[in-house]
A and B are shown apart, each in its own frame.
Chain A
Amino acid sequence: MTDLAHIRNFSIVAHIDHGKSTLADRLIQLTGTVAERDMKEQMLDSMDIERERGITIKANTVRIEYPAKDGQTYVLNLIDTPGHVDFAYEVSRSMRAVEGSLLVVDASQGVEAQTLANVYQAIDADHDIVPVLNKIDLPAAEPARVKEQIEDVIGIEAHDAIEISAKTGLGIPDVLEAIVTRLPAPKGDRNAPLKAMLVDSWYDPYLGVVVMIRVIDGVIRKGDQVKMMQTGARYGIDRLAVLRPAMTDIAELGPGEIGVLTASIKQVRDTRVGDTITHERKPCETPLPGFKPSIPVVFCGLFPADANDFEDLRDAIEKLALNDASFTYEMETSAALGFGFRCGFLGLLHLEVIRDRIEREYDIDLITTAPSVVYKIHMKDGETRELHNPADMPDLTYVDHIEEPRIKATILVPDDYLGDVLKLCQDRRGIQLDLTYAGSRAMVVYDLPLNEVVFDFYDRLKSVTKGYASFDYQMAGYREDKLVKMQILVNDEPVDALSMMVHRDRAEMRGRAMCEKLKDLIPRHMFKIPIQAAIGGKVIARETLSALRKDVTAKCYGGDATRKRKLLDKQKAGKKKMRQFGKVEIPQEAFISALKMDS
């Protein structure tokens, strides 16, 4: 057990690509925590997708021992946090487990939207913050300008920011020293009853559920009988360890310390992040305040491209859900796509990560339907329903009004592209809340409907700003608006998998785009096919797929009979893969392309 004065707990706040994971790697390396031959890049990111996308999804932790200049050895606990807004919830709870943060800013890029969102979380958690300017070795580095920007935009002192290059190792010793001298030691009472925070939990195929804890008061030991104060569940501690980052057994953890435990817990869902762990015999009096549970805000259908993969998909989804309490699912059937699941996610990146993991780790081709947000349907009888799937929209005659989720979006963009960004936000029904400048960069804050953001907003933003804008958002409640369910009719038959909720004023545009897209995707038939978008019974957009004019084999003689007949047999088999809507056959690929998120 380590004495409180010799512990420092901290996290690193940074925008993606500003060097957070590289800095973590250097800290681990310089302190000899991991033998040189075992080092690999992004040491703390264990998922393939994390390494590949260069992002952190789950919080990870590492315990570092650092002999400081004062001659004392300190225990530094780093909790590496996700940078992306979808995982903001993981960020906020990880922040509650530590006392300070390193704010890493790219010395040439400056402050980005994600930096802001995360640094405010650190400020909310009462952290002491040490600014660090990374990539100082690059010719484009402008430390003076970026320091000024940190002070102007974030409002924290930056004149003594540490200038480093995580890549070359320059300045890393200064960072270690600053963690000890400029961040506070944790507080806690070793003699008080045990009070530990459940910071995170995950499923390990060998160990079962692993729980990360931060001890506030008291001491926890292997073999202790503990209880979770929120769930009331009781467990015996099988194993207690710290992460270096490999799991290393330890006899006990005292106040201020961070470690992991295993306790024959069956699934991640049995644990509640933010719960208070105490001794069964001598419990603490008041639990920690706990966290609000994270709730999914974006929904979409996941269907196997090959119907035979349905059971495999179910298996994959159940396994992923075991380790991700914020991912929800329920079975769904669609006339067009067969059996699948309606899944809920924290945001679009979360959706993409889960989808990628299913396709990659479980080798299942997926059809992802258009993402939808959760609408609140206020019925005339006073009931309020949550709508996760446009197909479930109740009859309008019973609906009083509909509310949609809004977000507060922060966008940082170079001056030159500001006009395009404002136009994009305006087009997406945004309401401008703020517009300020920091040097040649503008910071705009918009109130936007979430459903306009899940539909290709990132892509449009990237494209109109040539990739120079950064974007972050937080949920900002619900508001009533003129929302309608738009249906797509092919040859006068409604196709449920293609219906979506849209704002009345944007329905024509979206309907036209969908009809045009489908016109290109559905093969011509022997008759012409109207493709319509409709609200209720009213058609708002229409395209006509003209009839097939030419499809005949030019040459067919005796030697071709067998071959052409076999081709016909193949077409008979291929027809089974088509989805039949009245007389129209729509190939599965058409659904995939029509519903594809433009990302």
Chain B
Amino acid sequence: MPELWQEAGFGIYLHWPFCAAKCPYCDFNSHVAAEIDQDRWARAYLAEVDRVAALVPGRRVDTVFFGGGTPSLMAPRVVASVLERIAARWSVAEAAEITLEANPTSVEAERFRGYASAGVNRVSMGIQALNDADLKRLGRLHSAAEALAAFDVARAAFGRVSFDLIYARQDQGLADWEAELGRALELAADHLSLYQLTIEDGTAFGDRFRRGRLPGLPDEDRAADLYAATQEMTAAAGLPAYEISNHARPGAEARHNLIYWESGDYAGIGPGAHGRLTLDGVRMATETPRAPGAWLDAVERGAGGSFPVETVPGEAVLDEFLMMGLRVRDGVSLSRLAGLAPNEEILSNINELVESGHLEQRDGRLAATELGRPVLNAVLRAILA
């Protein structure tokens, strides 16, 4: 029997922890630094590629993803040297997907050609909103016009371009969102990530929200309406949802992200990066220090080998398999599920949810239905909790 990860593939995630400014909604591991020694960081990344390659040698790399932070602040030569090193340590698939997250400012757009030359063939742009008032509220450093210009540069430079929008913003009505989404769909990207604004603890928005200073956010019913409208409009435009928040023309799905959702293996390189690696048939979780300075120091000391590599317990493998897998429109393969030996209670919970119409079994797969997807957290609690 193939190992769990093999059906989904192997990807490498590389985390660049710096941003020009911290956005008030963002709870990612990102930091604003006055000066960054790009070459010093490049050396550390290369050392980590070497270390991880020694852990899982002989793999074929299907995808690489530069995430952040704002990886479009990386010097193209750093991106190039990392990709070269990856190719030196592993074999890289012919049609490997190499993605870089970019902010749509004019300064960053100037580097797009350089990234393309380095081997990046897909960008994911954080456009977030198409009107300046909301961009300002979201703490973005670009205007809508600037973002659209950067988008055009990206389209010329890369074969595949995706962008993100955040909806369910303050005071955003259904009609407002429909109009904005309509314009986004006209831009003819092949992939869109459409995220409902989530107020996270430990962010500026989280703080304001707790103090009652973030009015005009949608209630559950309006959020559900916004979500439903999003599903309809994207499907009609030929970019149906293939995951809770991700939409693509058929064939243009983000293969790297599918590795996460389908319980593939992924190496996490950089501060605070998580990975899942199957070592000797056992699924392991890897983790690195979150603070950029601490990570850098440890790597330079040669202490990367002390970063945690822990067994994911069997029950947790199953939890993650369903938690991630049911996010995907096509769900999880029943034979892979069976291989994880779910207990009677979980199977009976699943049957009940099939009966109530929240889940469906089709073509050897188990998937959340249109009724189940918007309440997936509750579905997962009902299956697993």
Contact = CB atoms under 8 A, between A and B. Distances in A.
Interface of A: 524-527, 548-559, 561-562, 564-565, 568-569, 571-572, 575
Tell me which of A527, A554, A572 has the highest count of chain B C-beta atoms within 10 A of its own C-beta.
A554
A557 B257 contact: yes
Per DSSP, chain A at the interface is: loop
Contact of B320 (A555, A559, A561, A575): A561
Nearest to A572: B385
A553 to B, nearest CB: 6
Contact of B268 (A555, A558, A568, A575): A558
Contacts of B356: 526-527
A48 to B, nearest CB: 33
Interface string B98-132: 00000000000000000000000000000000000
Given A548-B375, A548-B378, A554-B195, A561 B224 contact: no
A558 B196 contact: no
Tell me which of B259, B260, B287 has the highest count of chain A C-beta atoms within 10 A of its own C-beta.
B260
A565 to B, nearest CB: 5
12 contacts: A525-B378, A548-B220, A550-B221, A550-B227, A554-B197, A558-B268, A559-B13, A559-B272, A561-B323, A562-B274, A568-B381, A575-B381
A558 B195 contact: no
Contacts of A564: 323
B245 A555 contact: yes
Interface string B125-141: 00000000000000000
Contact of B375 (A550, A556, A568): A550
Given A548-B375, A559-B274, A554 B196 contact: yes
Tell me which of A552, A561, A572 has the highest count of chain B C-beta atoms within 10 A of its own C-beta.
A552
Interface in B355-385: 356, 358, 373-382, 384-385
A568 B321 CA distance: 13
B76 interface: no
A575 B257 CA distance: 31
Interface residues of B, number: 48
B167 to A, nearest CB: 9
A552 B244 contact: yes
B196 to A, nearest CB: 5
B49 interface: no
Contacts of A549: 220-221, 223-224, 374-375
A556 B327 contact: yes
A558 B275 contact: yes
B377 A553 contact: yes
B198 A551 contact: no
B376 A568 contact: no
A387 B29 CA distance: 62
B198 A554 contact: yes
A131 to B, nearest CB: 53
Contact of A571 (B197, B268, B316, B381): B381
A572 B377 contact: no
Contacts of B227: 550
Contacts of B300: none
Tell me which of B224, B272, B323 has the highest count of chain A C-beta atoms within 10 A of its own C-beta.
B323
B378 A555 contact: no
A172 to B, nearest CB: 52
Interface string B286-318: 010000000000000000000000000000100
B163 interface: no
A553 B378 CA distance: 10
Contacts of A526: 356, 358, 375, 378-379, 382
Contacts of A556: 244, 260-261, 323-324, 327
A19 B276 CA distance: 73
A551 B378 contact: yes
A4 to B, nearest CB: 69
A439 B20 CA distance: 75
A556 B382 CA distance: 19
A575 B244 contact: no
A558 B266 contact: yes
B74 to A, nearest CB: 18
A550 B195 contact: no
A319 to B, nearest CB: 40
Contact of A562 (B197, B285, B373, B380): B285
